[in-house]
Amino acid sequence: MKTIYDFTVKDRKGNDVTLKEYTNEVLLIVNTATKCGFTPQYEELEKLYERFHSRGFEILDFPCNQFGQQAPGTDDTIHNFCKLNYGTEFPRFKKIKVNGDEAEPLYKYLKEQKSFAGWDMSHPIAKILDDMLSKEDPEYKEKPDIKWNFTKFLINKFGLVEARYEPTEKIDNIANKIEELLNK
């Protein structure tokens, strides 16, 4: 059975990183952007990281410029922005594509494992995204593509995808599931 440990990605300097390095850890894999309405989630992600990191939790940050060109700049510029503005300490990788023919193989795999999870319509941005995406493609909800920045995939200690969270998901819901997986 294929797991995320079968993939190698590039760190922000272009070096190969095998995801086997994260064996036996709970992971949250996130596609991010520095100029997005969801960018303040970096603060929430860093709090999750600080809370759970010492117990075997890691966040893997993959900047992506596919949604409204909201991740401009170089890998170093993005990294410095996140460190300066949000104090992030979790690993950041090379900017990637998450959809289309040029999508990072890891993301092709993640989308095969968990399709679109639906918006939390109580979030103020959810209706805006739903309206915008529905105009572009009335059947967008049926497709596994990543819909926007800050989509998150939760990976268990065996390298299997446990859950997909859209950017409108409450961070407390994600934290509860992380806690559950760390305690298994």
Strands annotated E in 14-148: 16-18, 26-32, 57-63
Domain count, the chain: 1
Instruction: Write the CATH number for 67.
Output: 3.40.30.10
β-bridge partners, 63 = 32
Q: Residue-wise over 59-72: b if at least 16 C-beta within 10 A, else e?
A: bbbbbbbbbeebbe
- One-letter identity of residue 116: F
Whole-model pTM? 0.96
Question: What does residue 141 show for φ and ψ, rounded to 5 degrees?
Answer: -65, -20
Structure tokens at 48: 């999750």
Is residue 36 flagged as an active site residue? yes
Q: pLDDT 10s digit of each residue in the chain, 184 long?
A: 899 999 999 999 999 999 999 999 999 999 999 999 899 999 999 999 999 999 999 999 999 999 989 888 999 999 999 999 999 999 999 999 999 999 999 999 999 999 999 999 999 999 999 999 999 999 999 999 999 999 999 999 999 999 999 999 999 999 999 999 999 8
| Among 29, 33, 36, 103, the one annotated catalytic | 36
Q: Which long-range contacts (CB under 8 A, 24 or more apart) does 102-108 make?
A: 104/9, 104/62, 105/7, 106/4, 106/7, 106/9, 106/19, 106/29, 107/31, 107/62, 107/146
The domain in which residue 50 lies consists of 4-182
Question: In this structure, what is the dihedral angle of CA atoms 173, 32, 41, 140, given to the nearest 10 degrees?
Answer: -50
